[in-house]
Structure 1
């Protein structure tokens, strides 16, 4: 049975057991209605602190931040089927008990969407550019081969750049911003998880009919300058959900949580606070 790693020193971490026996770590901060944050690619729950988002949100919500399986203090390693990640999120959601506002970033948005369709304990769903087309196409296959070669030879930084450029579709300006932030070192330590993400999401068949009867109010957040795959993901998700609103952060891209944090917080506080 997969086991979780010991919690980081000084942190009060809750461990819950997912459907397949994997231990999933999460922690709670603040007070108010619960808001569960699901991180994106090459991330863990520490990302929200590095982005300086956890504390502002904790002034209004009980902010719950989780480590997806194979990340941070959670157990399990990849590759894994995407349904296991859905189950992990549902396990945390139901541990919280009170109806949850659920937010997912990028690949985390795909996982949050899948989980929300399988539980009744989500009162609001917020997604920042769910990566439905993550790792698809001939160019992505070439990038995958290059990234794996770099990982095999211990070149974590070069592999991370390939991941952010070719799979994250980030601009050079966005990558420079990440490189100058505390996120960079964290992401280099987690770049080995990118192949697991690619295998999980490319093996997932997005079926719009699965969401036709999902009544959860949903906010889709996108950047006006984001790459085409993210715009396509927003469009497909919007078309699939019956109760959905789209908010666009003008002048920003996929790294909008970092480059336009005040605008992002405004959208989350307005929607999840209702």
Structure 2
């Protein structure tokens, strides 16, 4: 494990493996860098891979107050450790963070985005505002477990599964990540596609979704690919929202190799 200091002094932890053109991996909500371990190992056969913990997760620090701009600075610091520029892969809300970072002018050479969870229905902004407010209330009251359960309920997990997970050995680790759910809510904004932001990204981009994923995620991928100036869309048969390294990895490797 390595660390780099972000602009505000926060220590950002990352693993670095492989050799070649640098690639940085950005995780989504309720996840630390371990979620991309297998993908990092697969890509390391052809690339130098930096797989990092976003602030507040795993081995990284968490300086307050939070702002999306601080997370963009964190990614910039990791890219600096990669040599000053890098290809970037982001999954779920991590894809939205990667998109915002590229739009902010970070030196991203190629941008790959897995199922950014934008919504297009007219009620989406209201639902997102209600979710963010309730999340803030639970976290403010120290109810981390209930905050994580709220997130899981919001993304569609059934109550029986949530109850089982609350009894599982992994639950304390998920509770530890609960404060960062508010960070992902901030990254998502009102949960709709920020068309102006996306349209400003000139980086060659690949937008990916699973063939068995939720329809709104496939729709979001199509909308984003249509908005990015230099992009292509790819559906991977048989996959849902989970990034399966053995399927996604070879596709990313070909894209990052140019």
Give runs of aligned pairs for residues 69-148 of structure 1, distance below 5 A: 69-77=55-63, 80-97=66-83, 99-119=85-105, 121-133=107-119, 136-140=124-128, 143=131
**For structure 2, which runs of at least 5 residues remain unmatched after alignment?**
none
CA contact (8 A) 1:80 1:200 kept: no
State how many pairs are aligned: 256
The SS at the match of 1:245 is strand
CA distance in structure 2 between the partners assigned to 1:216 and 1:172 by the alignment: 41
Q: Secondary structure at the match of 2:178?
A: helix
Please say which of residues 151-160 and 59-68 is displaced more in the overlay.
151-160
Task: Verify: 1:60 aligned to 2:46, yes or no.
Answer: yes
Query: How do 1:129-168 and structure 2 match up within 5 A?
Result: 129-133=115-119, 136-140=124-128, 143=131, 156-166=144-154, 168=155
RMSD over aligned Cα atoms: 3.5
Structure 1 residue 182 displacement after superposition: 8.8
Distance 1:139 1:203 in 2: 9
CA–CA separation in structure 2 for the residues paired with 1:121 and 1:144: 31
Shift of 1:98: 5.1
Match of 2:255 in 1: 271
Structure 1 31/169 Cα, relative in aligned 2: closer, same or farther at 3 Å?
Answer: farther
* Residue of structure 1 aligned with 2:12, choices 1, 24, 31: 24
Which string of whole-angstrom CA distances, capped at 9 and with x for unpartnered residues, describes residues 111-133 of structure 1?
Answer: 11111223363211111112334
Of 112-121 and 149-158, deviating more is: 149-158
In structure 2, the CA distance between the partners of 1:79 and 1:208, relative to structure 1 (3 Å rule), is same
Q: Check if 1:262 corresponds to 2:235.
A: no
- Structure 1 unpaired stretches of 5+: 1-11
Shift in alpha-carbon separation, 1:17–1:138, aligned structure 2, 3 A: closer
Q: What is the rounded CA distance, in whole Å, between the counterparts of 2:169 and 2:87 in structure 1?
A: 27
> Which of 8, 27, 50 pairs up with 1:39?
27
Distance in 1 separating the partners of 2:89 and 2:177: 21
Distance of aligned partners of 1:210 and 1:138 in 2 relative to their CA distance in 1, 3 Å threshold: closer
1:24-79 superposed Cα distances (whole Å, 9 cap, x missing partner): 22231122211100111012222223xx3222222222110112122223222566
Aligned to 1:3: none
Secondary structure at the aligned position of 2:94 is classed as helix
Shift in Å, 1:149: 6.3
Question: Structure 1 CA distance, aligned partners of 2:188 and 2:99?
Answer: 12
Distance 1:154 1:228 in 2: 34
Secondary structure at the aligned position of 1:53 is classed as helix
Q: Tell me: CA distance 1:36–1:253, structure 2 relative to 1, closer, same or farther (3 Å).
A: same
3-state SS in 2 of match to 1:221? strand
